[in-house]
Amino acid sequence: MTLDPNHARTVSRVLNEALPYIRKFQGCTVVVKYGGNAMVDEALQERFAQDVVLLKLVGLNPIVVHGGGPQIGELLERLNIESKFVNGLRVTDAETMDVVQMVLGGLVNQEIVTLLNQHGGRAVGITGKDGNLIEARRLKVQQASAEHAAPEIIDIGHVGEVVKINTDVVTKLTESGFIPVIAPVGAGPDGESYNINADTVAGKVAEYLHAEKLILMTNTPGVLDAQKQTIEELSKQQVEQLISDGTISSGMLPKIECALEALAGGVGSVQIIDGTVPHALLLEIFTDSGVGTKIS
C-alpha cells in the first residue's frame, strides 16, 4: 500500500499535537454530557463511541451522562400520553415517570453501553438510583402569575434536583477499568424516583468527583457572540457580561449556569462543544484549537 505523503504529514502533526495533552490528562476524570443530534445520528454515534473508548485507552477516565428527551417524547406519543412542559421542563406524573425510567434507564442507556462495548470499551450502565448515586428532591418551579404579586409555585410532578452525589459506585467502576454510563434518574428520601436534567447531573457528578473537565455536547458550535461567531474561551466575568447584555439567552442559559456551578465546585474547566462535529471529543481534548467554547 502506498501512503500519501500529505496524509502522513497530517497524521504526524495531529499525533504530535495530541501527545502533550495525553500526558497532561493521564489519570484525570472527564465527564461528558451526551445528547442532541449526536445521539440520534448513526455515524455520530459510532464516532462518539470511538472517542470515549480511545480516551479510556490512553489513560483518562471518561464518564458519560446522557439525556433522552426526544426518545421519551416519541414513546409517550406512541402510548397516547400527552407531553406537557412548564418553563422547558417536562411535567412528569407517575405514568410519565414510568416511561422516563424505561427509556433512560433501559433503552437509551443500554444502547450507549452496547455501542461502547462494540468498539472495545468496558462500559457499565447505571442510573442515579444504583448505589444511591444521586440523592434528589422534588424541584420547585416558580412561574409569574398575573393574579398574584408573588411567583406561583407549580407542581410538575417527579422532576427533581440534585441534593448529593454519592460517588463510590462510579469511582469503583473507573478504578476497575470500566466506563460508567449514567442515566439521570435520582431517588428521593422515601425512594420516589425523579427525572433530572442531564446537564445538571453531569455538572454535579463532575463537581463531586473533582473532574478535570466537564464537556457538554450540544447542537450548536458553542457560545456565540453578537455576530453569531463562536467564542473560543470565556471567563466567569465575561459570561456574566454576555448574560446581562442578552448575548447569552434562552436555551444556552441553563448550560452556562451548569458550567458556572461546576467551576465554582472545583471542576478544572467546562467545554460546550458541537456534538455534530465528527470526533468532537478528541478535537476538544487533544488539539490546540479545540472546538466549541471553553469556560474557565
pLDDT in tens, 182-236: 999 999 998 999 999 999 999 999 999 999 999 999 888 888 888 888 999 998 8
pLDDT band at 101 (very low <50, low <70, confident <90, very high): very high
Q: Is residue 153 part of a domain?
A: yes
> Taking the CB of residue 9, how many other CB atoms lie within 10 A of it?
10
Residue 119 CB-density burial (10 A; 0-12 exposed, 13-18 middle, 19+ buried)? middle
Domain count, the chain: 1
Q: Is residue 2 part of a domain?
A: no
Cα–Cα distance between 59 and 187 in angstroms, integer? Answer: 32
Alpha-carbon distance values, 280 to 68, 74, 182, 224, 268 (Å):
20, 27, 20, 17, 19
Q: Is residue 6 part of a domain?
A: no
In sign, the C-alpha dihedral spanning 75, 77, 82, 85 is positive
State mean pLDDT over 19-28.
Answer: 93
DSSP 7-27: HHHHHHHHHHHHHHHHHHTTT
Question: Where residue 203 sits, what CATH number does that domain have?
Answer: 3.40.1160.10
Q: Indicate the range of 56-65, 194-203, 276-285 predicted with least confidence.
A: 276-285
Looking at residue 11, what is its pLDDT? Answer: 53
User: Is the pLDDT at 272 greater than 80, yes or no?
Assistant: yes
User: Is the pLDDT at 144 greater than 70, yes or no?
Assistant: no
Kindly state the percentage of the chain with pLDDT values over 90. 61
Which one, of 279, 222, 271, 207, lies nearest residue 52 by Cα? 279
Looking at residue 4, what is its pLDDT? Answer: 54
Residue 242 CB-density burial (10 A; 0-12 exposed, 13-18 middle, 19+ buried)? buried
Residue 246 CB-density burial (10 A; 0-12 exposed, 13-18 middle, 19+ buried)? exposed
Q: Is residue 58 part of a domain?
A: yes
Q: Is residue 149 part of a domain?
A: yes
Q: Is residue 165 part of a domain?
A: yes
Strand residue runs (E) in the chain? 29-34, 61-66, 85-86, 89-90, 123-127, 134-138, 141-143, 152-154, 160-165, 179-183, 185-187, 193-195, 213-218, 233-234, 269-274, 293-295
Range of the domain at 74: 25-295
Most confident of 31-40, 43-52, 249-258, 273-282: 43-52
Q: Is residue 110 part of a domain?
A: yes
pLDDT band at 153 (very low <50, low <70, confident <90, very high): confident
Cell numbers found for residue 238: 465575561
Name the residue type at position 245: D
Total-model pTM:
0.91
Q: Is residue 7 part of a domain?
A: no
User: Is the pLDDT at 6 greater than 70, yes or no?
Assistant: no
